[in-house]
Structure 1
Amino acid sequence: MNLVPLDLDRDLELLHAWVTHPRSHFWGLQGADPQRVRAEYERIAADPHHHAWLGLDDDGTPLFLAETYDPAHSELAEHYPVRPGDLGMHVLVAPPTRQRSGVTSAVMRAVMDFCFAQPGVDRVVVEPDVRNEAIARKNAEVGFVEERHVTLRDKVARLSFCTRTAYAMSAPHLQPAAIAYAHRRLIAKAIAEFSHERLIEPIAEGTGRYRVGDLAFTARRYALNHWVVDADSLTGPLDALDFIAGLRETLGIPEKLLGTYLEEISATLAGTAWKVTHRRESAAELVHADFQTIEAAMTEGHPGFVANNGRIGFGLQDHEAFAPEAGRPVRLRWVAVRKDESLFVTAGDEREHYLAELGEPTLARYERQLRGHGLDPDDYRYLPVHPWQWEHKVTVTFAPDVARRSIVPLDEGPDRYRAQQSIRTFFNVDRPERHYVKTAIAVQNMGFLRGLSPKYMQATPPINEWVRQLVDGDEELRACGFGVLRELASIGYTGDAYHRTGTPGAYTKMLAALWRESPVPRLAAGERLATMASLLHRDRDGNALVSALIAASGRSAAEWVAAYFRAYLRPIVHCLLRHDLAFMPHGENLILVLENHVPRRVFMKDIGEEVAVMNDQPLPAEVERIRIDVTDEIKELALFTDVFDGFLRHLAGILASDGVLPEREFWALAGDCVRAHAKDHPELTGRLDLLRPTFKHSCLNRLQLRNTLQMVDLTDQAGSLIFAGELENPIAVFG
């Protein structure tokens, strides 16, 4: 939101409608004609100690009126000892044209941010009418404390104060209603996913009604043992932490790791509460939203993991500054690192890479900084650092390296970025054609500390180039429009004591980054982007974005889903059968290209860490690390587990629950896609049995519950799998 000076020539009609609306009776202008309203605000405009502001929503729509004033030059000066740094404030939210929950809270935050951004302001003062209970609650929510009642010229008012620290500590998302919403949703997800993985077994109590312990609820069961639990139907003790702690032995959580897992659950609850408090986009609005608005609006995290939003290490201010849902622009910090104590890999020229990403003026400035320290710029290269990582790790964990000028602090970069769902990957909002930047960050999230290994990443650009050549050279993949976003360059610092010990670990993954292609330059006219994770998104009112997209497209649900399968499922099947090539194609790793709200093609990303070749084909030496030796049954799980169970079961459940597309038809369309590929490629017949009746049930939460600190060994991911029986293959069942 943004505040701009009120312009009476431009805003009078709108202002008059707002201040005379019946909901604005405490504003004191009921029945006023436009001339009286103009006179009132001309008086304010003429007063150097009083200012009126028009508040705009993120899309520029007028949303609220705010006034700020100096209490020392107001009627309040007679009622309390005004302190230097006091600022008076009034706020009026526009009468609603439609129901949008959370608007008033968001406006209050925007106005308070604006007030405390004024030079010298330490305390905000308000004096609402004592009868206005609604605004009193909103004031308390952001940290105001009522001092006493005072009699003013036109009302009896609650004289209230909010200090800068009280506002910073107010945590408006940690309120009973928001956290109750989060508990309810997380318990529903926990029941659904733990039941899916056969860790618990709900007891049926009637048609669609079940019980787990003291909790009763309504649920629907679909293919792949997929449960859709109606969160609003839950009755019983609704505390997610107690629910999971009570199941510790059943879930197999090691006693010594229970606290860590509960911390991730608590952080997930806090994240949900924050999102429901601050994110207001409806599914209908997101249908037409831009790429980054959709990215920031995602509320769920990974669809399968229960503890999926941990971010252990982030504080409240870190969350508001760096979490993707906060949507705030971030400028990365840059350091210079000695070339002989670092690794840099790219297919092109190193200096040209930095010129393209930083620009000549910034690069020249960094070189001058190095010379100012008496250092030779030719001895250094440049590494982007997450601001959190700089503050919490580089200046402490690598203090000796900074002191001896192996790491040289420079400045923030010129471009603003937005954090993506993976929290450590950033999209350039100022120059969208420039690369994503992925940085190391020592935050624990969903079973991993989110570091990057410099030595491991040496192979990342060659691997990406090899995959790109394979994809571009395959006629079928070209016909599907399937593309990969290459990770083109990587850098990492290796001159520290942690690397010198020769022992790999979290400390050898704290100073590294890579650059990935942006999809923006590859868009044609009429195309737009959306993370595939958005297909599983429901807004705070429960409306699904995918259902809204289908409705807006003008296509039948079956036509829409068939187009999606051709863009997503068919290329995955082809890579598996033709090349024994497997990706990790979950929602956050795919970017959809939409045309008229219909998926036309996809981009795969996170290639370096997530791709595997499962045969003995010749590979360049630097690409060899992606080869794994597995059975055909495990190869098939690249489709059954990663695609069917990992993503499509959730999508099928949403469409079926919404009455948009029956699950039988959904899976029949998936089967049609697989069979059509087989018909078009008879030479691949018998490579794998994708129509087998059942497949092994590989479980994600069981991995995290077993070891929430590191749920899999990245050097042997297949060997880390945990199975729980078998699942029926839905394209065989509904074939």
Structure 2
Amino acid sequence: MTPTPSFSITLEPVDASSAAEILHPWLADPRARFWGMTDATHEDVRSYLDELDADPRQSGWLGRVDGHVAFYVETYEPSLLLPSELFTAQPGDIGMHLLVSPPRTDTVGGYTSAIMQKVVQFCLDENGLGRTRIVVEPDIRNTSILAKNAAAGFRFLGEIDLETDQGYKRAALSVCTRADFAASPLGQWESPMPHLRPDIAAEVHRHLVAKAISEFAHERLISPVLGADGAWQLDAGASCYSFRADVLSLEHWVIDEASLQRRQNDASGRLDVLELIVELQSALAIPDELLSVYLEELSSTFAGAAAKRSRARRGEQRSSTELLQADFQQVEAAMTEGHPGFLANNGRIGFSLTDYRRYAPENGQRVRLMWVAAAREHAHLALGDGLDEDRHHAAVLTADERRAFTTRLADAGHDPEAFHFLPMHPWQAEHRLPITFAPDIARGNLVPLGFTADEFQPQQSIRTFFNLTRNGAPYVKVALGIQNMGFVRGLSPAYMRDTPAINDWVAGLVSSDAVFASVGFRVLRERAALGYSGDVYHRTAHTNPHQKMLAALWRENPVPLLEPGERVITMASLVHRDHEGHSHIGALIRASGQTSAEWVKAYLRAYLYPLVHALLAYDLAFMPHGENLILRIRDHAVAGVFMKDIGEEVSVLGPQALSPEISRIKAEVSDREKALAIFTDVFDGVLRHIAGILDADSLLPADEFWRLVASCLDDYESDQPETARGLSGFLDLRTRTFAHSCLNRLQLRNTLQMVDLANQSESLLYAGEILNPVARS
């Protein structure tokens, strides 16, 4: 904000001889009584200025307004006037006194505000004195300057008794940083939300409206009608939407975003995805009591998309081609879509703007984790085969950190041997630990220990962190009590008990199978898991999110497992388009030197082939969406994959016996439902989107893509005739139709908890049958 932009204000160093003539009558004016020099003679003023000029710790400045000398400023090192027992100076501090000339009859409103603004800018700006903080100590009775200080953003620290040449004064000690000034009425205001601009918002709304129509039409919640002009029409009650689109296999709508138009009362209306949801509430069957929650998740998704586009405009976003040379974590941070089938896929309800900038994976910030000690009698540490507690600690904490934690526990009167060390998301430590678990801390069952030195980067799954400090150190996954995409993102201590054993069983099965080895399929084991359950929430009758607030697991890092010449990227990058609309999969194909068909065939053999084998040979189903697969890339083509998130999301869908410690992953279902592990999670959840991108980019027609998928299934049947029919019955992946399981319908029905994780099968929602794009002719 510029209060009076018409003023021209400058500052110049004081010349003591000439300045005394100017300042003597100013200081003698009763309005300047707080300077304590109303009785000073001309010689007294000249002597005062000479002393100031001779002291390198302070300087005097004359200010001009529109060419006329109008004010005087003194700057000084704070230690000159403020004793250390009253004020601790920081590097970059500067003190300041301001004296404005007696008022002229021709001054206008905003005159002194403009002077104050210029003086503060002069002290803080790099083009001026370039200091980082201004310190002032005006007399507490000087209400006029106190008001101007407040308008400039000075923060009151307290009253102090300060010795002066005239005795003692009661002073209002105050400071002003660059940020304080910028946010003040006199500061050069910059919005803390520059991404929420009308032009950026229009782009994001257009994209999200297109996605909403595409995915809701795919799930048969809405039914656009093809008009005579070749454009599709959607009647949404108060509005009518028109657009051009291609409808590919699996009823996948590829909408031309530029063609989208909205009509309201025969007039053009602006696109707004939130208004679209309200218009379609009845068709989408969103319960009245949950509509606002869904709209908030969608608003958060909108805000995140706007922030990503804003960064791209500032040149801070890598293009799809630049990602070819980016490292693993640079690719991870560059992703924009998350789960491509969900509309509200970046909810993050609970994050402030500051939290978003610190912890959202697309910002790629470095984060340190907070640790607490959890009493062993109320916690359980589960370790994988061959791992003991000492080896686990050595992998996740330095020797100095272990010593520090042990000492802190002992100093607090605790026996260190009676506790486990539990990492926490810093947001969780700030918002949940001291409030939700205050009684546990007071009892001494939880003891805050502080932050460790390792720096981590948040992954797309938002509560998982990759260690940037120590090469090869494990991932850490922690609980995070925010609402995101249909769930509070907790982590169950009960699940943590079995997680390493489940991982060992799956890893043993995969590593001993020659088929998995032949296509480069591996799993990243979750080697250790820890959960705390001593809180009162674990003694309530029903399962609740509060029971999943204090737990962590440690997962293998894929980087040390790579072969020479390989790099890794998230599979989510295959459905990524950059800010210019270019696909990353297209960049990979072009850089590989292969044809699109060759590239896709290799990808399907590394991804689809082993998932089919797991299901048919072992009744084993993973959760193989883009965030859960890490691709091994050699010469820009897929050479193999790492599957992760095993403990929480793997299932055995057949009748085979499992040991008691891993029995919770058993979920026996019919063969028809078992096949959905491929049809829904792979065909619909991943391959549908890749086929659409390749078709839209004229890299590979969608029909040809699905022929390659069918060929991959044929290859498996030919290669593995003994298992191709399925372990526990006939499992036909080439059937004419399959049940159309719909994911947005789950979130729309209950955005607080999409499914019951303990009984996912009965939570599913269907929209009839859908044609299988790889059905036998």
Range class of TM-score, shorter chain: 0.7 to 0.9
Structure 1 residues 253-303: Cα deviation after superposition (integer angstroms, max 9, x where no partner): 001100000001111100100111124211111122111111111111211
Secondary structure class of the residue paired with 1:683: coil
Taking the aligned partners of 2:403 and 2:499, their CA distance within structure 1 comes to 28
Distance 1:727 1:71, change over 3 A: farther
Q: 2:183 is matched with which residue?
A: 163
Letter in 2 for 1:250: A
2:743 aligned residue (700, 704, 725):
700
Matched-pair contact (CA < 8 Å) for 1:330–1:416:
yes
Matched-pair contact (CA < 8 Å) for 1:358–1:414:
no
Matched-pair contact (CA < 8 Å) for 1:71–1:77:
no
1:252 aligned residue (271, 276, 285):
285
Displacement of 1:307 after TM fit? Answer: 0.7
Secondary structure class of the residue paired with 2:530: strand
Matched-pair contact (CA < 8 Å) for 1:71–1:82:
no
Displacement of 1:163 after TM fit? Answer: 3.2
Matched-pair contact (CA < 8 Å) for 2:348–2:484:
yes
Matched-pair contact (CA < 8 Å) for 2:93–2:133:
no
Letter in 2 for 1:487: E
1:229 aligned residue (251, 255, 258):
255
Displacement of 1:224 after TM fit? Answer: 0.2
Matched-pair contact (CA < 8 Å) for 2:94–2:134:
no
Displacement of 1:177 after TM fit? Answer: 1.5
Taking the aligned partners of 1:223 and 1:489, their CA distance within structure 2 comes to 42
Letter in 1 for 2:645: D
Displacement of 1:358 after TM fit? Answer: 0.6
Structure 1 residues 185-229: Cα deviation after superposition (integer angstroms, max 9, x where no partner): 110000000000000011212465212132211111100000011
Alignment of 1:431-446 (within 5 A): 431-446=470-485
Letter in 1 for 2:195: H
2:508 aligned residue (469, 475, 482):
469
Displacement of 1:361 after TM fit? Answer: 1.1
Q: 1:522 is matched with which residue?
A: 561
Q: 1:275 is matched with which residue?
A: 308
Letter in 1 for 2:523: V
Letter in 2 for 1:238: L
Residue 186 of structure 1 pairs with residue 203 of structure 2: no
Matched-pair contact (CA < 8 Å) for 1:69–1:88:
no
Q: 1:16 is matched with which residue?
A: none
Taking the aligned partners of 1:671 and 1:90, their CA distance within structure 2 comes to 67
Displacement of 1:503 after TM fit? Answer: 3.5
Q: 1:718 is matched with which residue?
A: 761
Displacement of 1:69 after TM fit? Answer: 13
Q: 1:55 is matched with which residue?
A: none
Letter in 1 for 2:590: A
Letter in 1 for 2:183: T
Taking the aligned partners of 1:167 and 1:393, their CA distance within structure 2 comes to 33
Alignment of 1:605-620 (within 5 A): 605-620=644-659
Alignment of 1:650-669 (within 5 A): 650-669=689-708
Q: 2:722 is matched with which residue?
A: 683
Distance 1:122 1:672, change over 3 A: farther
Taking the aligned partners of 1:729 and 1:72, their CA distance within structure 2 comes to 76
Letter in 1 for 2:362: E
Displacement of 1:87 after TM fit? Answer: 1.8
Q: 1:447 is matched with which residue?
A: 486
2:584 aligned residue (545, 553, 568):
545
Secondary structure class of the residue paired with 1:676: helix
2:217 aligned residue (195, 211, 218):
195
Secondary structure class of the residue paired with 1:431: coil
Structure 1 residues 381-411: Cα deviation after superposition (integer angstroms, max 9, x where no partner): 1000000001111011111111222111111
Q: 1:646 is matched with which residue?
A: 685
Residue 87 of structure 1 pairs with residue 87 of structure 2: no
Alignment of 1:579-590 (within 5 A): 579-590=618-629
Matched-pair contact (CA < 8 Å) for 2:616–2:725:
no
User: Which is further off, 684-693 or 709-718?
Assistant: 684-693
Displacement of 1:79 after TM fit? Answer: 8.5
Q: 2:522 is matched with which residue?
A: 483
Taking the aligned partners of 1:702 and 1:341, their CA distance within structure 2 comes to 39
The alignment of Structure 1 onto Structure 2 pairs a total of residues equal to 608
Taking the aligned partners of 2:495 and 2:254, their CA distance within structure 1 comes to 39
Letter in 2 for 1:731: V
Taking the aligned partners of 1:525 and 1:335, their CA distance within structure 2 comes to 39
Matched-pair contact (CA < 8 Å) for 2:533–2:547:
yes
Letter in 2 for 1:457: M
Secondary structure class of the residue paired with 2:182: strand
Displacement of 1:161 after TM fit? Answer: 6.5
Secondary structure class of the residue paired with 2:472: coil
Taking the aligned partners of 1:122 and 1:607, their CA distance within structure 2 comes to 56
Secondary structure class of the residue paired with 1:568: helix
Q: 1:532 is matched with which residue?
A: 571
Matched-pair contact (CA < 8 Å) for 2:495–2:648:
no
Taking the aligned partners of 1:417 and 1:290, their CA distance within structure 2 comes to 15
2:340 aligned residue (282, 294, 303):
303
Residue 323 of structure 1 pairs with residue 360 of structure 2: yes
Structure 1 residues 567-621: Cα deviation after superposition (integer angstroms, max 9, x where no partner): 1010011111111111110101100010011011000011111111112222111
Letter in 2 for 1:718: S
2:774 aligned residue (719, 731, 734):
731
Q: 2:133 is matched with which residue?
A: 120
1:288 aligned residue (313, 325, 331):
325
1:559 aligned residue (577, 598, 606):
598
Matched-pair contact (CA < 8 Å) for 2:474–2:556:
yes
Matched-pair contact (CA < 8 Å) for 1:85–1:121:
no
Distance 1:272 1:208, change over 3 A: farther
Taking the aligned partners of 2:464 and 2:574, their CA distance within structure 1 comes to 20
Q: 1:242 is matched with which residue?
A: 275
Taking the aligned partners of 1:396 and 1:85, their CA distance within structure 2 comes to 44
* Aligned-CA RMSD value: 2.6
Secondary structure class of the residue paired with 1:459: helix
| Unmatched tracts of structure 1, length 5 or more | 1-47, 50-67, 92-114, 124-143, 146-159
1:359 aligned residue (376, 398, 405):
398
Displacement of 1:70 after TM fit? Answer: 9.4
Taking the aligned partners of 1:323 and 1:287, their CA distance within structure 2 comes to 23
Matched-pair contact (CA < 8 Å) for 2:93–2:132:
no
Distance 1:382 1:173, change over 3 A: same
Distance 1:240 1:495, change over 3 A: same
User: Which is further off, 607-616 or 208-217?
Assistant: 208-217
Identity %: 51
1:399 aligned residue (438, 445, 456):
438
Distance 1:407 1:692, change over 3 A: same
Displacement of 1:83 after TM fit? Answer: 3.4
Letter in 2 for 1:259: S
Letter in 1 for 2:325: H
Secondary structure class of the residue paired with 1:238: coil
Letter in 2 for 1:574: H
Displacement of 1:416 after TM fit? Answer: 0.4
Taking the aligned partners of 2:587 and 2:700, their CA distance within structure 1 comes to 13
Taking the aligned partners of 2:127 and 2:257, their CA distance within structure 1 comes to 38
Letter in 2 for 1:696: A
Secondary structure class of the residue paired with 1:592: strand
Taking the aligned partners of 2:705 and 2:490, their CA distance within structure 1 comes to 38
Q: 2:552 is matched with which residue?
A: 513
Letter in 1 for 2:397: L
Taking the aligned partners of 1:201 and 1:619, their CA distance within structure 2 comes to 45
Distance 1:85 1:674, change over 3 A: farther
Distance 1:122 1:713, change over 3 A: farther
Displacement of 1:84 after TM fit? Answer: 9.1
Displacement of 1:172 after TM fit? Answer: 1.1
Taking the aligned partners of 2:533 and 2:116, their CA distance within structure 1 comes to 63
Alignment of 1:372-383 (within 5 A): 372-383=411-422
| Unmatched tracts of structure 2, length 5 or more | 1-57, 60-91, 98-112, 137-151, 154-179, 263-269
User: Which is further off, 173-182 or 541-550?
Assistant: 173-182
Taking the aligned partners of 2:123 and 2:528, their CA distance within structure 1 comes to 51
